[in-house]
Amino acid sequence: MSQAEINSTTSRRLFLAGAAAAAVVPSIGATAEPMPADAALVDAAACVLQLDEALEAFVDAHGDDDDYDERPEYQAMESQRAAHLDTLATVPAVGTAGLRAKARVMMFDHFARWEISWSLAEDLERVLA
């Protein structure tokens, strides 16, 4: 199997995991206020999506420079994004809000790490058991 086929298969699996989670999560009872752990996940997901937009705008504005990714502003945004992705990968979801936050990042963030999909799968297994 070529590297391109492996990357395509991995991307497809991550997308399908996010889509499956999104289909299951609405059927789980929702609470009015997210639990504290889920609040951290909801915040992290929102920040990742905002940072993705900011990074895209930065690249649009500075992409002609060969070293745009070495600029302190870009590196700071990447560092913040990585910290939020770590939160999504390591903090267990305890309710609907946390599950949805992880699923949202998996669906809309093309560069989300496999650790988040693994964490989401473990959360779903635990919550639905």
Interval 3-30: pLDDT, tens = 555 555 555 555 555 555 445 444 444 4
Helix (H/G/I), strand (E/B), else coil: 52: helix
The pLDDT, as a whole number, for residue 35 is: 78
- Sequence ranges of the domains in the chain: 3-128
- Compute the distance between CA of residue 19 and CA of residue 98 in angstroms, rounded to an integer: 15
Confidence check: pLDDT of 79 > 80:
yes
| CB-based contacts of 85, cutoff 8 Å, min separation 6 | 44, 48, 105, 112, 113, 115, 116
Reading the block at residue 37, the tokens are 């752990």
Identify the CA nearest to 105 among candidates 42, 56, 55: 42
Contact between 8 and 65 under an 8 Å Cβ cutoff? The reply is: no
Does pTM surpass 0.85?
Answer: no
pLDDT over 90 percentage in the chain? 52
Helix (H/G/I), strand (E/B), else coil: 40: helix
